[in-house]
Amino acid sequence: MYDFNFHRPKNLASAVGFLQADDAKLIAGGQTLIPTLKQRLAAPKHLVDLSQIEALTGIERRGRNIVIGAMTRHAEVAASAVVRKAIPALSDLADGIGDPAVRNRGTIGGSVANNDPSADYPSACLALAATIFTNRREIPADEFFKGLFETALEPDEIITQVSFPIPLKAAYAKFPNPASRYALVGVFVAKDGKGVRVAVTGAGENGVFRVPAMERALDRRFAPKSLENVKIDPSGLIADLHGSAEYRANLIGVMARRAVDAAAKTPK
């Protein structure tokens, strides 16, 4: 790892100030960034640590939304009674990220900002139609995820909170890579008053994506059977040593049916 200057601002304004420097990068939980720095895949001159900014932590129910501070750790989301009561699918998702030690450090803001094509949280944001709050605006999830590790964030923009509308039913089904625990395929299904949204992670070459054909089928009838005739096109899907594009295409169907089955069974 190359050396850098380390800053620990106490508030957002000061963090934005440090970001104006040449080649500065934010560090949240560091569970992706530190391994990246060690491999010298990134070598920022300045690291700006967000952990001392109180405004970025906490979980609360605000009306029909669950609002989670960007620096909230995965373990905190997984253990939150507020989240468990309103969106159990989100608790389950957080509880399945990485391993216990990673969950004690990794944050929701970091995961969303990094937009790893195999990360779990982007699928929840997209399927639940979350809003990403930053220090300067609100971004709907549909406009936030722009491609492989790409988001709508400006270089000196900081995620402050993620707000999830509480759905009628939702579930996340993940087929984890047995070594890394990243999603080989993960499907988040959510149904609210407006309809059904299906988001897939782990499979798209351009990151997380929705599956309109599945959404239409589930709008007609919310049951695993509705998905039996929906074919997933393998073009544009990730192919690597862990699985071919065709394998992932098939797995999307399997995971989607499991998610719908689990969501249909959630008591409401």
Partner 1 sequence: MPKVSLTVNGKAVSADVEARTLLVTFLREHLKLTGTHIGCDTSQCGACVVHVDGKAVKSCTMLAAQAEGARVVTIEGLATDGALHPMQEAFRENHGLQCGFCTPGMIMTAVDLVNREGGDLDEQTIREGLEGNLCRCTGYHNIVKSIAAGAKAMKGRRRAA
- Enumerate binding residues for partner 1 (CB under 8 A): 1-6, 8, 27, 30-31, 34-35, 37-38, 47, 49, 51, 75, 79, 98-102, 104-105, 179-181
Residue 230 Cβ, how far from partner 1 at the closest point, in Å?
Answer: 32
CB of 24 to partner 1, least distance (A): 13
| Cβ 60 to partner 1 shortest distance, Å | 22
DSSP state of 109: H
In angstroms, the CA 47 to CA 19 distance is 9
- By C-beta, is 6 or 149 nearer to partner 1? 6
- Residue closer to partner 1 by CB (options 5, 206) is 5
Q: What is the DSSP string of 32-96?
A: THHHHHHTTS---SEEEE-TT-GGG--EEEETTEEEEETT-BHHHHHH-HHHHHH-HHHHHHHHT
Minimum Å gap between C-beta 32 and partner 1 is 9
Q: Decide whether 179 or 241 has the Cβ nearer to partner 1.
A: 179
C-beta closer to partner 1: residue 98 or 243: 98
Neighbour-count burial for 149-160, b at 16+ CB within 10 Å, e otherwise: eebbbeebbbbb
